[in-house]
Amino acid sequence: MVKIGERAPEFSGVTAYQAGKEFIKVSLKDHAGRWLVLFFYPRDFTFICPTELKEFAKLEKEFESCNCAILAASTDSEWSHKNWFERDLPDVRYPILADTTQELSRAYNVLDTDGSSQRGTFIIDPDGILKWMVISAGSVGRSVKETIRSLRALQSGELCPVEWETGGKTLGKA
């Protein structure tokens, strides 16, 4: 079971799809020294998932300005990802993991009973420590803006009150 404040589950050698590139291998170690938002979505060729994937793509530069990479995952194959992204999501440039073994979804405790991933979002710090996570019902899309807000709050090193925004008053050191 993944827990806040503990080392994020490792993964490596996972085939991924990234627009404009051949299939590549990625690992958690590839992101050492920078922040990572790892998010899981249920299935390719669905209704809510592309809205989230597009929103992450739209705000990718904001994540990059925070020294943060984006990595998505589902239990669909790299070929499914390739077909769907080339057809419907050409603006998504960040990698999409093909968790066909379901090991990654299981490690992050988002594997659903039907073999798909639940809607889970994880923020991992540059040292590989899990700092934030949200797992929600598949029927409700996540807020990418809330993910960025939470990332910035974590990076501030401060105690950040409800609805805190960058530049807002904090409550002191965390």
The residues annotated as belonging to the active site are 49
Beta bridge partners of 120: 40, 135
Please give the full DSSP string across 133-165, using - where no structure is assigned: EEEE-TTS---HHHHHHHHHHHHHTB---TT--
Q: Are 57 and 85 in contact (CB under 8 A)?
A: no
Q: How far is CA 154 from CA 40, 61, 64, 106, 129, in A?
A: 21, 18, 15, 26, 12
